A and B are shown apart, each in its own frame.
Chain A
Amino acid sequence: MMSKVTMRLNGKTVSADVEDRTLLVHFIRETQGLTGTHVGCDTSQCGACVVHVDGKAVKSCTMLAAQADGSDVLTVEGLANGDELHPVQAAFRENHGLQCGFCTPGMIMTAVDMIERHGAKLDEKTIRHELEGNICRCTGYHNIVKAIKAASDQMAGMKTATE
């Protein structure tokens, strides 16, 4: 079956006729041409495909595009504000939170979600627990954890500054 799927993708309304079995990740990458979201496994375990649907981190390889019809979807491409990186993106760069970069989009989307849920100022234990669903073959995780910690501390500062 083909059906029309419409969603807000990074703030823009997009629409396409796709097969019902189309995964959200394929809709994002192939139909919409946004290749920042990656596919790293076949078993829903690696987290390279994490995007936000209606404000929640989900694995876009384990959701049909049709399930996201009418939803608001945010991918790594939608994080930066023009040329200005999101604090989590900037922190990954500053802390060498990536090597090959394959896991990075999923790591960043997961990090943004965990900071939103727990509030800024995360501790290391929470960060490691929350990274359960994201696999990295390169870094050994230490710099990823450091980057998320730095970003969450900085975002706590930004929050106080605006209060």
Chain B
Amino acid sequence: MYETTYHRAGSVADAASMMASAEDGKYLGGGQTLLPTMKQRLAAPTDLIDLAKIVDLHGISEAGGAVVIGAATTHAEVASSAVINSKLPGLATLAGGIGDPAVRHKGTIGGSIANNDPAADYPSALVALGATVKTNKRELAAEDFFTGMFETALEDDEIVTSVSFPVPAKSAYSKYPNPASRYAMAGVFVAKGADDSVKVAVTGAGQDGVFRVGEMESALSSNWSPEAVAGISVSSDNLLSDIHGSAAYRANLVTVMAKRAVAAAG
């Protein structure tokens, strides 16, 4: 790892002003992506601004038909939260399946979505549930937030402060993890909103990151059952193809994971 200067921010405003005076700073969430990247010398920020101790970025609360999760909330906290398990069971499953216990104790929802790894789990949940990302500057709909592989609408100095999820009628996530890394080879999040609208979002498979499958959404709108999606396959044209699996293999996984997710949602 190259040299860097560590700062611990006490508040969001504090973090933003530390960033303003840094030459080439980066925010540090749980460090479960950024530190491995720095160890490989693929990133070399002059300053690290640690957000983990900012009290306002922590916690899970429910109000007005939505569940709000602070950006510095860890995957382990989301997975074990009573509110999430009762209102957003798909999200609890998703968070409980990220990496391993030690990664879940440090990694945060804010860090995961800011990173937008095409194989990360959270983006699928945000898109399928129609979540809103709040930052220190504005609010963004999930679909406007994720803009491509490792790309988001965030400006360099912008801080994700929380994510707000409307409580759905049903939700579930099913992922086929890469046996070595545990990242998604394909992960499908299905949600039926309180207004009966259906969304299906896929992670791990797309070249540009998370995407929705309209055909599955309309099939599920008229018939919410695993059989409704069994015959629908996504085109392999824009899917990832690597040593772990070809685009055609991933396309098949998308259908299988979609079936399993609908079955799990009940």
Contacts and interface: CB of A to CB of B under 8 A. Distances in A.
Interface residues of A, number: 31
A159 interface: no
Chain B interface size, as a band, is 20 to 34
Nearest to A42: B39
Interface in B16-44: 28, 31-32, 35-36, 38-40
B4 A67 contact: no
Contacts of B102: 47, 50, 57-59, 62, 110, 133
Contacts of A1: 3-6
A132 B1 contact: no
A60 to B, nearest CB: 9
Interface SS, A side: mixed
Interface SS, B side: mixed
Contacts of B166: none
B32 A62 contact: yes
B225 to A, nearest CB: 28
Contact of A19 (B3, B35, B50, B180): B3
Contacts of A134: 100
Contacts of B31: 62-64, 67
A58 B3 contact: no
A142 interface: no
A3 interface: yes
B105 interface: yes
Interface string B96-108: 0001111101100
Contact of B101 (A44, A57, A63): A57
20 contacts: A1-B3, A1-B5, A3-B6, A21-B2, A23-B1, A23-B39, A44-B35, A47-B100, A58-B102, A59-B102, A59-B103, A59-B106, A62-B32, A62-B103, A62-B106, A67-B6, A67-B50, A110-B101, A113-B101, A130-B101
